[in-house]
Every structure is written in C-alpha cells, then in structure tokens.
Amino acid sequence: MFSRTSDQGMGRLTPEAYPAVLSDLLASELSSTGAPVDVLICGMAGARQGWLEAPYLDAPAELGGLAFAAVSPVMPGSRLLPRILPGVCQKLSGAEDVMRGEETQLLGLSAMDPRFSGLVVMPGTHSKWVNLAGARIERFSTTMTGELFEILRTHSVLRHSVGDETGAADHEAGFDAGLASGLEAPQRLTANLFKIRAGSLLSGRSHGWCSGFLSGLLIGTEISGQRDWIGTGEIPLVGGTALGALYARGFAMIGAGTRIVDATEATLAGLKAARRG
Amino acid sequence: MFSRTSDQGMGRLTPEAYPAVLSDLLASELSSTGAPVDVLICGMAGARQGWLEAPYLDAPAELGGLAFAAVSPVMPGSRLLPRILPGVCQKLSGAEDVMRGEETQLLGLSAMDPRFSGLVVMPGTHSKWVNLAGARIERFSTTMTGELFEILRTHSVLRHSVGDETGAADHEAGFDAGLASGLEAPQRLTANLFKIRAGSLLSGRSHGWCSGFLSGLLIGTEISGQRDWIGTGEIPLVGGTALGALYARGFAMIGAGTRIVDATEATLAGLKAARRG
C-alpha cells in the first residue's frame, strides 16, 4: 500500500488525459514490479465530466457492494488495471441527491467502527448529512455551504467587506456571532448575509470579523436547518481538521457531541474495504 | 420636467467623471435656457464609491426631510446645480441595514398614497422589506435574493443545470415547484439549492425548469423567511413589472394580496416630492 497525491482531477482533465496522469503518478511503483497493478479509484473521476462515468448505487444502499458496481476504463499497453467505484444517488421525489467519493469514506468509517449507526456529517464544498447503519446508507442530504462561502466572498457585494485575514484577532468573534445568527434563524439566511455589508459600512467591522461572520452564518444555517436529523449519539465529522473544528463548535452550541474523523484516513480505509469486497 | 436615462453609474464611473456625464446627458436642456438648472439625484451616486458621499438618515426616518440632508457636488463653470439625496440606515444592533434610492421611491409612494401604512416590498438585487407609515420609515430589512440568483447561476455548480431559457415551457412549472419549496422550508435553502443539481443529473430536468426552480426557491425563501412582517393589508410591490409578477405569485400562495407599483414612477414621484420639500 502506498499513497500519492496530485492536483490533477476532473476540473482540469479531459477523459483522454487521465491514463497518462495516472501512469506518471504510479511510475516508480510500476518499475518496481513486472506484474499488473490494481488501481481502485473513487470520486469525481467517475462523474459524467470525469474519466469514465460510473453508475450510481440507489440509496438506501449497501456499501459492501461498491466494488461490484465499479467500471473499468481501458489502458491499452499498460499494466495498470484501474477500476472506478460508483457514487450513490437518492431518487426519492423532493429529496433527489447525489454523492461521489463520500460513499467510500462512509464504507471506511463503517470498517473502522462496524457497530456505528446514526448521523454522519461530512463538511465541505457540498456538505453531506448521512444516516448510516453499519455499511448501509439509509438516506442523505447535501448542502452547498462551502461553495456558497466561496462564491459569496469572491463574487458578491460582500467581497468588499470580507478578506483573507482568517487569522485575525476578531475572526473568531465574527465566527461565533455568525454561528449564533445562523443557528437562531436559518430561515433568514438571505437577509442575515446583508448584515455583513451593513455592518462593515455602519459599524466599521473589520475584514477578519466579516469573514468569520460569513463562515459562521453559513455553518450555523446548515446545522440549524437540518436540526431534525440530529439524534442523541455522538456525530462523526468526516473532513479536514480545521473545518471539522468549526462544525464541532456549531454542534456544541446546540448541545450535540461530535468527534472528528480524518477524511483521508476514511477514504483509504474505504478503498481497502472495497477491495476486500 | 423631463427624463433622461444612461447606463453610466457608480459601477463604471470615478468621482471625477460624473460632471461630464451629467452635462452631456442634459446638454439639450441646458442650451434651451440661460438660467441655472436644479438637478436632484438619488441612489448610488451618493455612495462611498459614488460621486460624493451623502450621509444616511437614521431609521426610524421622516422622508419629508430628505432634501434637507442632501449634499451638493460642485461643478465649476456649469449652470447645473446638482444635489444628491441621502440614503437611510438602521443602526439597531443585530438589524444593521442600509438603503440608497429606495427611500426616494418610498417618499414617492407616500406622495401617491398619503394614507398608506404597512409593509412595502421592493424586489431586486437587494430586496427591501419596509414598514412605512405615511412618509416615515419605521424599520426595514434587506435580502440578497437577486444577487444570489445571479452569482449562483453564473459561478456555482448550478451553472451546468440552469440556462437562459426563461421563456421555456417548463420554466413556469420549475418556478412554482421552487416557490413551494422555499415557502415550505426557508431554513433549508442551502440544501434545496443542491436539489437543482441532483434533479438535472437524475431526473433530466431541463435548463428552463432548473432556472425557474432557482428563481422560485430564492423568492419563496425570501417571503417565507420574513413571514412575520406580513400583516393583513395589500402589499405594494415596488419594482419592475416582470419581477413584481413573480413576487405576487409567491405572496398569493400564502394568501397575501399585492399590487405592483412601477419603480420608475415611484422614483419620479419621490424626486418631485423631495424637491417640494
């Protein structure tokens, strides 16, 4: 087992470009053996705009069956044998949803903790809230929290108010104020957002404070808007450590316990489990 | 009285460029008289990034006093005598807000209908909800509905799902579905947005339907999120006719009556009333 990372992915590659990128990435491993090399892939390589479209499993979905539904792109003349794992979709009317990559992390989580049953939250560009029972996805829901943060601070009128000073002294105060607003009134998100603009014009709020408020407001809104998903058990937060800590703060404000699960560990555990089948 | 329009404004002009643009726009009127010409201006020309910053009146604010708080940019050698009307701000902690331009439309509304008292909704890039009593702004709130629509359809993952086909047959069906979702669960906006992406991937929803859903979802969320502002009286919707009709549809879904007030008429009535003092 080994790990290689690359910034080459769906956002940058045409389908035809994947084989060369993969061969380059695994060149030293290929040279150390004369045998074929299994490559198990999850995530956006299986999207319609990726390498080769992998079908979705329908939720409720048994993740033990992930590898059976994998697709195999061909790499003529190569000893690499790539397989791309499927994503999971939910066709329930009014609750249509899709995931790619998170299903593998969830399989990893269930491998690490086979008796876990309950809510899993996976913060990110498109955060996932998932009811997991063992290795079975019962239902899930996506919120666009991370992407909204990015486009609001880059393209909206709020770009004049926020800045990159995430380390600024009052970033944390802004974050807590935003979190409280979002938790208290998630139905007012589109109005509360403008408070950032007004706050910087009227109260001289700093860029750091406003950035913190925007982040806290969106996370608080996500948590409060889906409060009915939260049970009594500890909630695994699968994601980066820094982002996980921000969500943990939000859940703590409403009395929900959490633990952070590293996303890379969960992915690797999931790929191993899928390979074992 | 006459009317001239131009696409030159705060977004395009430096402060130094305003005098020449205004002189050009009013050239024929200037040549028809040898006397000085009063010019009353409202809106973003008075913003910090505009021509000359005009102060805000504090809400609650008596709009009869608008002209007293105007600022006068100097135009040496010109017979034009420009005055820029102030905006209105609200410093109430947790409800900080600002407007520029809408205060003049509200003064116009009160001139057209002096006995009106109640909620006024002004749909737009930054929609305003205002409690107006005669010519007095009691309180107001801004929602970023129009701007969110624009940045989501341009910059988010939803750009793959929506299109410009606002005339498409199923645009209206999408709009009504989005409106119903927003009205029912405004606290779930950030999750409901992703249903557009999932709907186009799983159910083959057209670009027209998705555009309609996005528009309806944001408008429904705005209306429902501020439902506690709605009383029993008919609500004037001050804005463009097409956008006003979409909001009217949303208010009708929850049993609230509305009437559309043309924004340009309201602005002109407001400028006349401000000039009378």
Supply the ipTM of this predicted assembly: 0.92
CB atoms within 10 A of CB A59: 23
Q: Which of A96, A197, A226 sits opposite B203 (nearest CB)?
A: A96
Domain limit, last residue, from B50, B69, B100 = B100
Residues A63 and A113 in one domain: no
Classify A186 as helix, strand or coil. helix
Cβ distance A194 to B222 less than 8 Å, yes or no, reads no
Alpha-carbon distances of B98 from A62, A199, A201, rounded to whole Å = 52, 9, 8
Residues A116 and A233 in one domain: yes
pLDDT of residue B245: 97
Nearest CA to B268 out of B156, B135, B101 is that of: B101
Residues B218 and B270 in one domain: yes
Give residues 15 to 54 of A whose Cβ lies within 8 Å of B: 48
Cβ distance B194 to A143 less than 8 Å, yes or no, reads yes
Residues A172 and A260 in one domain: yes
C-alpha to C-alpha distance for A233 and A210, rounded to whole angstroms: 33
Residues B16 and B79 in one domain: yes
Instruction: Determine contact, residues B201/B84, Cβ cutoff 8 Å.
Output: no
- B141 — contact with chain A (CB < 8 Å)? yes
Residues A86 and A138 in one domain: no
Non-local CB neighbours of B150 within 8 Å, separated by 6+ positions: B125
Q: Which of B91, B143, B190 sits opposite A202 (nearest CB)?
A: B91
pLDDT (tens, 9 = 90+) of chain B, 277 residues, equals 667 777 787 778 899 999 999 999 999 888 888 899 999 999 999 998 899 999 999 999 999 999 999 999 999 889 999 999 999 999 998 899 999 999 999 999 999 999 999 999 999 999 999 999 999 999 999 999 999 999 999 999 999 999 876 567 799 999 999 999 999 999 999 999 999 999 999 988 999 999 999 999 999 999 999 999 999 999 999 999 999 999 999 999 999 999 999 999 999 999 999 998 7
Say if residue B60 is preceded by a cis peptide, omega within 30 of 0.
Answer: yes
Cβ distance A201 to B147 less than 8 Å, yes or no, reads no
**Lookup: tokens for B264:** 């340009």
pLDDT (tens, 9 = 90+) of chain A, 277 residues, equals 667 777 787 778 899 999 999 999 999 888 888 899 999 999 999 998 899 999 999 999 999 999 999 999 999 889 999 999 999 999 998 899 999 999 999 999 999 999 999 999 999 999 999 999 999 999 999 999 999 999 999 999 999 999 876 567 799 999 999 999 999 999 999 999 999 999 999 988 999 999 999 999 999 999 999 999 999 999 999 999 999 999 999 999 999 999 999 999 999 999 999 998 7
* Residue B224: closest C-alpha in chain A: A187
Distance from CA of B98 to the nearest CA of A (A): 6
Q: Which of B98, B155, B221 sits opposite A198 (nearest CB)?
A: B98
Residues of the domain holding A231: 101-277
Residues B142 and B77 in one domain: no
Output the CA angle A168-A124-B207, nearest 5 degrees: 120
Distance from CA of B275 to the nearest CA of A (A): 28
CB atoms within 10 A of CB B52: 18
Domain limit, last residue, from B57, B80, B100 = B100
C-alpha to C-alpha distance for B273 and B277, rounded to whole angstroms: 6
Residues B35 and B171 in one domain: no
Give residues 88 to 117 of B whose Cβ lies within 8 Å of A: 89-91, 94-98
End-to-end Cα distance, chain B: 17
Cβ distance A190 to B91 less than 8 Å, yes or no, reads no
Q: Which of A89, A187, A199 sits opposite B225 (nearest CB)?
A: A187
Domain limit, last residue, from A93, A123, A158 = A93
pLDDT of residue B1: 62
Residues B115 and B243 in one domain: yes
- B142 — contact with chain A (CB < 8 Å)? yes
Instruction: Determine contact, residues A85/A41, Cβ cutoff 8 Å.
Output: yes
C-alpha to C-alpha distance for A172 and A177, rounded to whole angstroms: 9
Non-local CB neighbours of A98 within 8 Å, separated by 6+ positions: A56, A87, A88, A89, A90, A142, B197, B198, B201, B202
C-alpha to C-alpha distance for A124 and A143, rounded to whole angstroms: 9
Cβ distance A98 to B198 less than 8 Å, yes or no, reads yes
Residues A122 and A236 in one domain: yes
Residues B115 and B216 in one domain: yes
CATH of the domain at A261: 3.30.420.310
Structurally, chain A folds into a number of domains equal to 2
Q: Kindly tell me the sign of the dihedral angle through the C-alpha atoms of B163, B166, B168, B169.
A: positive
Cβ distance B194 to A97 less than 8 Å, yes or no, reads yes
Substitution target in B187, B200, B217 with the highest count of A β-carbons within 10 Å is B187
Residues B18 and B108 in one domain: no
User: How many Cβ pairs within 8 Å bridge chains A and B?
Assistant: 134
pLDDT of residue A204: 87
Distance from CA of A22 to the nearest CA of B (A): 26
